[in-house]
Amino acid sequence: MIYNSPFEIKAQSVEQIEKFKKDGVIVFGTGNFGSLIKSALTQNNIMVNYFVDNNFNNCGKKFEEVEVISAKDILKINPNASVLIASLNFRYLKRQLADLGFKNFYDVDFLLNNFDLSKINTKWSKDRCKVQLDLYNYSVNATRDKESLKVNSIDLVLTEKCSLKCKNCSNLMQYYERPIDNDLDVMLKSFDNFLSAVDYCYEVRMIGGEPLMYKNIDKVIEKVLSKNNVGNIIIYTNGTIVPKGDKINIFKNPKIYFKISNYGSHSRNVDKLEKVLSENNIHFITERVTTWQDCARVEKFDRTEKVNKEIFGNCCVNETLTMLHGKLYLCPYSAHVENLKVIKPKVKEHVELFNEQNNENLKSEIRNLYFGKEFLEACNICNGRDHNVASIPAAEQTKTFLNLNKL
């Protein structure tokens, strides 16, 4: 399986490639994406001298048989080294390197044409690899385009209701005593306003709760499919509900795919769901999930601004625009702690989408939210969502909602 980017690739000069081959490179980023880039470099005869990871627990160990170091360690080893950033969180990592005084850091899209995925070493399926590579290439291109406002994704919270009662849900569903559906008219008008302000949105992700519990999901999908400035639609589901009847038909659109989290016995209908989707040629990716990050706690940490910037910068959802009850937030955690009235930020940390306003003003507000934040007030009550956060068993159940102390 040969991967070619559907987006423009910024080629490196012949001289630069030869320098990479002669001296080797340092790769900032491990995990599955780091493995992908290591494979791409190997296919281009470029040696990886070191991996860099912000998870200090990995420093001093080996990844892909290469030593892992911290970003500060590069200064000791070779401050003029070529650093390739292998992460979807590349904007923060670039800032981090620039703050440390580095100048020779590069995107990795130049590696991602004629990339042979049959030779990769990663836990991701080939389909998952293609999805992640497409998203990375889109995001790099969108960041380079200074005139347009192009965003990676928006999470549409269809409902607070869920078919499971996970006590450590990262989107805080366990704290909703009386969960409700998102009002359809509010959602559709807010989404209209959002798309009138942005030039392109690569992914619209339908989440909950459990989005298949939302009776008007077909109407939301129809709205999204009517827009020309939207890429894919992803429906996140926990494998408990199998869609039936007419709703199956709308899922057959090639822009739609399901992302199924398989929690073992809790995902009681995952086999039936996969069978129905397969029979109807509906694309899906299933991932067996056994652990989560311990990121569902809500408590006041009283961190310094510097630490909150680090927490935000390393967070895996710090660019996950989330629409909830007519408001746009920068991450799902901030959306739900505000909706649950845990905090009322001193400075507004959302954009009002439902209320009519000038498109250019709305565009400016969204741009500032998406590109202008170094951390959120919500970060100070969040345990963080990066690889330094401890792992816990996934989808442990509770019999009732959990009490939440207002901070």
Q: Which domain holds residue 345?
A: 147-393
DSSP string of 176-217? -SS--BPPHHHHHHHHHHHHHH-SEEEEEEEESS-GGG-TTH
Encode pLDDT of 365-391 as tens digits: 999 999 999 999 999 999 998 877 889
Same domain, 114 and 176: no
Contacts of 257 (CB under 8 A, 6+ apart): 232, 233, 234, 235, 282, 283, 284, 285
Q: Write down which residue in 141, 174, 197 finishes a domain.
A: 141
Encode pLDDT of 261-311 as tens digits: 999 999 999 999 999 999 999 999 999 999 999 999 899 999 999 999 989
405 in any annotated domain = no
Same domain, 370 and 243: yes
404 in any annotated domain = no
403 in any annotated domain = no
Same domain, 118 and 233: no
Distance CA 33, CA 26 (A): 14
Q: DSSP letter at 49?
A: E
Same domain, 23 and 162: no
Same domain, 227 and 341: yes
Same domain, 45 and 194: no
Encoding tokens for residue 134? 């497409």
402 in any annotated domain = no
Distance CA 84, CA 87 (A): 9
Question: Token match 């989330």: residue?
Answer: 322
Q: Write down which residue in 107, 141, 175 finishes a domain.
A: 141
To the nearest whole number, what is the mean pLDDT of the chain? Answer: 94
Query: Are 336 and 349 contacting, i.e. CB atoms less than 8 angstroms apart?
Result: no
Same domain, 137 and 281: no
- Write phi, then psi, for 293 (nearest 5 degrees): -80, 150
CATH code assigned at 73: 3.40.50.20
Distance CA 84, CA 254 (A): 34
b/e code 247-266 from CB counts within 10 Å (16+ = b): ebebbeeeebbbbbbbbeeb
The residues pairing with 233 across neighbouring beta strands, listed in sequence order, are: 204, 256
Model confidence pTM above 0.95 = no
Query: Across the chain, which distance is largest between two alpha carbons, in Å?
Result: 63
Same domain, 95 and 161: no
Number of domains in the chain: 2
Across 98-106, average pLDDT: 94
Across 225-253, average pLDDT: 96
Same domain, 131 and 174: no
406 has a pLDDT exceeding 70: no
Encode pLDDT of 299-336 as tens digits: 999 999 999 998 998 898 999 999 999 999 999 999 99
Distance CA 209, CA 340 (A): 14
Residue 80's H or E segment, with its range, is none
Query: Are 98 and 104 contacting, i.e. CB atoms less than 8 angstroms apart?
Result: no
52 in any annotated domain = yes
Distance CA 157, CA 182 (A): 7
Encode pLDDT of 335-345 as tens digits: 999 999 999 88
pLDDT of residue 231: 96
Q: Write down which residue in 124, 141, 158 finishes a domain.
A: 141
Same domain, 191 and 303: yes
244 has a pLDDT exceeding 80: yes
CATH code assigned at 172: 3.20.20.70
Distance CA 136, CA 244 (A): 34
3-class secondary-structure state, position 79 = coil
399 in any annotated domain = no
CA trace torsion 288, 293, 295, 296 (10° rounding): 40
407 in any annotated domain = no
Same domain, 375 and 234: yes
Q: Do the bridges between strand 115-116 and strand 350-352 make them parallel or antiparallel, or are there none, so unpaired?
A: unpaired
398 in any annotated domain = no
DSSP string of 102-133? ---EE-SGGG-SSEEGGG---SS-HHHHHHHH
357 has a pLDDT exceeding 80: no
pLDDT of residue 407: 59
Same domain, 85 and 222: no
Encode pLDDT of 106-151 as tens digits: 999 999 999 999 988 888 888 889 999 999 999 999 999 989 999 9
Query: Are 222 and 354 contacting, i.e. CB atoms less than 8 angstroms apart?
Result: no
Question: Token match 């366990």: residue?
Answer: 174
pLDDT of residue 16: 95
Half-sphere exposure of 30 (CA within 13 A, CB side): 23
